[in-house]
Amino acid sequence: MNVQAALIGTPSMSSFDFALSVLRVSLGGTMAAHGYHKIFLGGRLSGNATWFERLGMRPGAFHVRVAAGTEILAGAALALGLFTSVAAAAFVALMLVAAWTVHRPNGFYIMGSGWEYTFILAVTAVSIAVLGAGEFSVEHLMFGSNPLDGWTGLVVAGGVGAVGGIGQLVLFYRPANAEAA
């Protein structure tokens, strides 16, 4: 038995599928951790609701719950390789809203709290949607393949995610109200 088979449990898994799994689990776990943090750490739900209000996302209590729940669910789904393109679309929507409401005024670079990090998370999620979940995923176990990868994955993750994020901003982002608060 070779090292790959011993570590992964299947001699047929390619280095591509292994790398894709590591990337999926890392990105998904990071997003889920952000949702967990909003609920249980730092300012918790109440403190984050106040922060969301100050950012202009009203009502803050509603939006922090939606954001935290979406981060946990989309992160877990991406990590598992389940509904990968839909999970990636949620990443895009979340990161677009975060980039616009929190990071946009600070420029690109993360050192100044710019939108670099949100951009990288969104682009990586879209790239995973295009590539598909890979062999070591729930999608592969259940369906054998994902019909929503490739160009369809790009449209679902990028297009649906952008529409979702922009829609949320159009419906709920009220920066003038935030300045008055």
List CB contacts of 175: < 8 A, sequence separation 6 or more.
55, 56
- Report yes or no on 75 lying in a domain: yes
Q: 5 in a domain, yes or no? A: no
| Torsion sign over Cα 82, 26, 120, 42 | positive
Residue 142 located in a structural domain: yes
- Look at the chain and report how many structural domains it folds into: 1
Q: Using an 8 Å Cβ cutoff, are 84 and 153 in contact?
A: yes
Q: Is residue 11 part of a domain?
A: no
User: Which of 4-18, 65-79, 89-103, 137-151 is least confident?
Assistant: 4-18
Q: Is residue 44 a part of any domain in this protein?
A: yes
Residue 57: inside a domain:
yes
Rounded CA separation 79/63 (Å): 23
CA atoms of 132 and 143, how far apart (whole Å): 12
Question: Could you tell me what percent of the chain has a pLDDT over 90?
Answer: 80
The DSSP code for 174 is -
Is residue 48 one of the residues assigned to a domain?
Answer: yes
Integer Cα distance of 24 and 18 in angstroms = 10
Range of the domain at 86: 17-176
**What is the structure's pLDDT at 8?**
53
pTM score:
0.87
Domain-located, residue 99: yes
